[in-house]
Each structure stands twice: as structure tokens, then as C-alpha cells.
Amino acid sequence: MSLSDYIKKKRLNALLTQQEAAKLLGYKKSQFLSNLELGNRKPPLEVLKKMCEVYKIPPEEMREEYIRSTSKEAEETAEKKWDESEKKSAKDDGKSNGE
């Protein structure tokens, strides 16, 4: 589960609309929260900590989910960079061999 899906699930479990949750988190409009839940923005740590209070999530649970999510993203980014490098090397090798 992505972090965005996790925070949406926790908001729904708290029986809050996006508008209600946004106000409790200190935002006038729900657009910020919508962007977090859609994965369009990464939530600042301060917001995740506030969500623990508002959604009644144990901080350790949120911490674990945050670490799992960011670790997965870092792994995917590293794999992509490595694969792109391999493709570039293969292409460059073909050029140097006269292909």
C-alpha cells in the first residue's frame, strides 16, 4: 500500500471527509489533502505527525509506514537509474564496435 493510500484509509477510518480533515490539519481547503491522497504531493513530516493526532494513529505505526514507503520509492528510483545506465552502456558499446 502506498503512503497516499494509507493516509486516505486512515482518514476514512476516522470517519472524516477531506474538508473536515483538512480543517483539523490546519488547512482552509481540502485541495492539499486531496493532492496527498492522490499521490500528487509528498506529505511533510509535520503533517504526518498531525495526522497521527487527528486520525488517532499510533505515531510508531505512521513512522513504519513512512519508512516503508520512502524505502520502496528509493529502491525503485535506484533500479530505474541502474537499468537506464545499463541501456546507455549497451548502446555506447554498440557504437564503439562499429555498429
Give me the CATH number covering residue 30.
1.10.260.40
Give the residue among 13, 76, 74, 3 at the shortest CA–CA distance from 36.
3
pLDDT of residue 20: 97
pLDDT at 91: 77
CB 10 within 8 A of CB 57: yes
Contact 19, 30 (CB under 8 A): yes
Identity of residue 19: Q
Domain that holds residue 50: 3-96
CA distance 82 to 67: 22
With CA atoms as reference, report the closest residue to 21 among 2, 30, 66, 47.
30
How long a stretch of residues is the chain? 99
What residue type is assigned to position 35 of the chain? N
Task: For residues 52 and 59, give the distance between their C-alpha atoms in angstroms, rounded to a whole number.
Answer: 6
Could you give the number of structural domains in the chain?
Answer: 1
Q: What is the pLDDT of residue 99?
A: 56
- pLDDT for 87 equals 86
From first to last of its 99 residues, what are the pLDDT tens digits of the chain? 899 999 999 999 999 999 999 999 999 999 999 999 999 999 999 999 999 999 999 999 999 999 999 999 899 999 999 999 988 887 777 766 655
For the entire predicted model, the pTM comes to 0.78
